Amino acid sequence: MLPWVQRRARAAYERLLKREISGGPTHVAVIQDGNRRYADRNGGEAPDGHRAGAQTTERMLDWCRDLGVEELTLYAFSTENFDRPDHEREALFDLLERKLYQFADDDRVHDGEVRIRAIGDETMLPESVREAIRYAERRTDDYDRFTLNVALAYGGRNELLGAARDVARAVEDGDLDPDDIDVGEIDNRLYDDPLRDVDLIIRTGGDERTSNFLPWHANGNEAAVFFCTPYWPEFSKVDFLRGIRTYESREESWRRTKVKRAAALVRAVGGVELREAREVIDRFRDTLPEGTTVDELDAEGESSSAD
């Protein structure tokens, strides 16, 4: 196809996808995978792939603003990535350091009141990267319109182990009653300023794994997961919109399931007004597509097995 025809078709498709989106995710987390394979395919080395990936990262920030996302978490360097060859690791740290300074000084970050912060075990990182983190965090500390979390030396299980140790110490010191350990308590022990639960995880590059990324925050909201094949450097806004559509249809089916279960419960007790079930039905009735009746969902519930 001619390039301009392709561009116009793509723009039209983008507009179509955007129209289909109504209530998008608040917190999106991205596993930016496929940089080296992209570089390899284009005759480059791993650092070329990471540099190309960083350009997509910048575009992603613009798309998030455009689509009303309020928090973005990027998997930039995992604890497993320390096993990469020295030259790749060092080039990646240099790039991350440069990007952190660049983001922290970018007018778009200040105009959009973007708060930048790092998550992960900073003590494992080179001092120059830690200094860049401190700089970016300090320069954007007052903002809260949008949050950009950069996961560096990050491992989800490590993070949970840290919180578990912290809880154990507080119990041992008599500062915490085991009966008071709840979700909020763990949230507060993971970060001074807790992360929101994740609504949508995107992974590029074709692998269908979530690789130790945000296990606590992804489960809180039962995050939707969108796996796609483009390598991170070639991930486009259309791919992102598809990911958001996946989130929305998952939300929609989740709401239907809740109403179906509540309706089934009311039916099972012979029409007795069960307060909780009625509440669920009332809460979700308005969020279902126009014209959907509880009776319809109830009938669906009878004909299909458990979700």
Q: Which residues bind ligand FPP (CB under 6 A)?
A: 32-37, 50, 53-54, 57, 74, 76, 81, 95-96, 99, 150, 205, 232
Nearest Cα to 50, choosing from 42, 39, 60? 39
33 is catalytic: yes
Q: How far is the CB of 116 from Mg ion (least distance, A)?
A: 24
- 55 Cβ contact partners less than 8 Å away, ≥ 6 residues apart: 233
Nearer to ligand FPP by Cβ, of 31 and 277: the residue is: 31
Q: How far is the CB of 53 from Mg ion (least distance, A)?
A: 11
User: What burial class does residue 185 get, using C-beta atoms within 10 Å of its C-beta: 0-12 exposed, 13-18 middle, 19+ buried?
Assistant: middle
Q: How far is the CB of 18 from ligand FPP (least distance, A)?
A: 25
Nearer to ligand FPP by Cβ, of 148 and 224: the residue is: 148
Nearer to ligand FPP by Cβ, of 33 and 159: the residue is: 33
Residue nearest to Mg ion (CB): 33
Nearer to ligand FPP by Cβ, of 215 and 230: the residue is: 230
Q: Catalytic one among 40, 81, 106, 298?
A: 81
| Nearest 10 degrees: Cα torsion 140, 104, 69, 258 | -60
Residue with tokens 């954007």: 140
Q: How far is the CB of 88 from ligand FPP (least distance, A)?
A: 8
- Partner interacting with residue 284 (select from Mg ion, ligand FPP, none; CB below 5-8 Å by kind): none
Alpha helices in the chain (DSSP H): 3-20, 35-41, 46-67, 86-105, 107-111, 127-140, 156-172, 183-190, 215-220, 237-268, 275-285, 294-303
111 is catalytic: no
Nearer to Mg ion by Cβ, of 80 and 282: the residue is: 80
What DSSP assignment string belongs to 35-78?
Answer: HHHHHHHTT--HHHHHHHHHHHHHHHHHHHHHHT--EEEEEEEE
Residue from 24, 30, 31, 33 that binds Mg ion (CB under 5 A)? 33
Tokens in use for 141? 């500390």
Q: Which stretch, 31-39, 152-160, 266-274, 298-306, contacts Mg ion (CB under 5 A)? A: 31-39
CA 221/CA 214 separation, integer angstroms? 12
Where does this chain bind Mg ion (CB under 5 A)?
A: 33
Catalytically annotated residues: 33, 81
